[in-house]
Chain A
Amino acid sequence: MTTALAQKKKVRINGCVASAQAAKYADVDVITAYPIRPYTATMIALAQMVANGELDAEYIVADSEHSQLSIAHGASSSGARVFTGSSGVGVQFAYELYSPISGTRMPVQMMIADRTLDPPGDFGSEHTDALSTRDMGWLMGWACDAQEAFDNHLLGYRIGEDRRVLLPQMVCQDGFFVSHITTDVELPDTGQVREFLPDYKHPYPLDPRRPVSHGPQIMPEQGPPLQLERARAMEGAVPVIEQAHEEFARIFGRRYDPWIEEYMTGDAEVVFFLQGAHGVTARYAIQHMRQRGAKVGLVRLKTIRPYPTDRVKDVLGRFAVVGVIETNLGLGSVSSGGVLYAEACAALYESAQRPLVVSFMAGMGGEAIVLKEFYWMTQKMLEAKKRGKIEKRTHWVGFED
């Protein structure tokens, strides 16, 4: 299928439209859609591209997210490059499909623009919608701005469709903070995209001329090897992810560390550990705190599945205090706050140098985390360093002095 040719150019678009543009540049074959804010904007933009003839793809509007992901699964099984997406409770309603899609090794790509679950169900961004599916065998990571979101979609297809991987991808961005703020995005030359992302060819598509079975009923003893295969695919993705980012830097000129972004960590004593858009405000807060003498930095997790355990261990082990900013809900979890804390601590368990780790519940309901809240959290970390002990595992920011 063909896509209208375009030269490399700078445009002003928001994160949702950046995702739609990425799907167009990736020349997807099938789009399955069902509206829910903030993802709706991506779906609208793609509908217009198909209607205008900019993108030659099957555009299927399902009757629910469950059907939407079922159709995506079927289309991918036939060998199509598939793009879908959702937000908040929509992500949850399709839950049944996440394991079958990764279990049959179908590299469906799903754009997630985060939205809180109910309650509070407002339009704001909490990462709980996507994070609750984190162990279903999908590659997963967050962007912090529209450009990174665009790039992550191309990277996602390249990694997920690699025959050593063959796994679906959730390409996540914060609702509003990324999805609905218009900024500069560089769109590549289609020639660059073709070089980076070759045509997709699944090794065993459903085809009546070459019969194969996908996901048949099996006996219990056939289960373990199937699960081991899927686990190995996730582990096997690690070098593929690194190679893809190298290639991306070579072709497009933007270099990302696939796992972790470090900001002002060289001499840092205390660091924030977070995912997604709040990293943008964190950087400004860090600049101001450093002017006041606080040695604070930022470690932003870019890929959470597969989890970069050794990198997290090595990086976070360099600091005295780590403050995990959750932006997600892990009710009754290890920290009784969010879910990032437990995995950061688990990664650090094997480290000879274990920092103090504290969890901050901030940005809940999709509230912007403002500069003064970052100052407050920095203060809590500096106090813990001085004391040599955390005050408590989880702070609810805005509810304490």
Chain B
Amino acid sequence: MSYTELTVWTRGIIMDKEGRDIVNSVAAAGRLEGKFAQAMENYVDNPDRTNAPTRKYCRLSESAIENELTYENEQPNIVVLVEQTMVKGWDYMRGMPPGGTLVINTHYTPEYMIRFVPGAERLAQMVCVDAAHIAHHKWLYYRLGELGLDRLSTEGAAERSTAIAPDIAAPLIAAVVKSTGIVKIESIEPMIANKTAFRAALDQLHVMPLGQAVA
């Protein structure tokens, strides 16, 4: 793939940093591999509100990214849903060219989830990963600081925790990287805070191959 778009759909405040960590780490790994890379948030989804859908974008390219200043990923090759109920109600498949990959954080199987996916015929594969379970995600008050929840982090300007992917983002990054090869595992792994969850997820993906060849 000479030009790849990755779009992450997440929930404002509670999973915002984790969504951002996915695009930022993939872009940073792409840079390490000598690619042109860009990461950004959807400009009008911010400032985020608790639970509101927010989108994060990453673009990787072998050549200069000429659409650098456009606001949205118009043709996402890879879409990630950080929270499973987002599978209904939003057209996250819009613009996906044939051969795409959909990654969902869910304890359900791809065979169950696929019925909710609009335009699934464009997919080459659907990947389910139980990121919350693998990362031992628990909403405990005293853990909020180490989890993704961060009310200061809107706009991506200041984050209390400088750790990248301390929680559910780690298995999701593993799912994206292993199923698509967008960047190499060895380029991205050193950045990930929760390496245990990252490595565990590599062996716990539920991958459902579909009609299209991977683009």
Contacts and interface: CB of A to CB of B under 8 A. Distances in A.
Contacts of A245: none
Given A14-B156, A45-B157, A181-B69, 5 more contacts: A17-B157, A180-B40, A183-B38, A280-B69, A369-B69
9 contacts: A17-B157, A37-B155, A38-B155, A44-B155, A45-B158, A122-B44, A182-B38, A183-B38, A280-B68
B153 to A, nearest CB: 9
B52 to A, nearest CB: 16
Contacts of A44: 152, 154-155, 157-158
Q: Is the interface of A mostly helix, strand, loop or mixed?
A: mixed
Contacts of B41: 180
Interface in B2-45: 24, 27-28, 31, 38-41, 43-44
Interface string A183-204: 1100000000000000000000
Contacts of B152: 44, 48
Contact of A284 (B38, B39, B66, B156): B66
B155 A16 contact: yes
Interface footprint category on A: 20 to 34
Interface of A: 12, 14, 16-17, 20, 37-38, 40-42, 44-45, 47-48, 122-124, 176-177, 180-184, 277-278, 280-281, 284, 368-371
B157 A20 contact: yes
Nearest to B59: A181
Given A123-B44, A181-B40, A183-B38, A281 B68 contact: yes
Contacts of A38: 155
Given A123-B43, A281-B66, A182 B155 contact: no
B173 to A, nearest CB: 16
B64 A14 contact: no
B2 to A, nearest CB: 15
A177 B69 contact: yes
B39 A182 contact: yes
A368 B43 CA distance: 12
Contacts of A180: 40-41, 43, 155-156
Contacts of A281: 66, 68-69
A14 B66 contact: no
A176 to B, nearest CB: 5
Contacts of B44: 122-123
A14 B40 contact: yes
The 8 closest A-B CB pairs, nearest first, are A41-B157, A41-B155, A48-B158, A284-B66, A45-B157, A44-B157, A44-B158, A182-B39
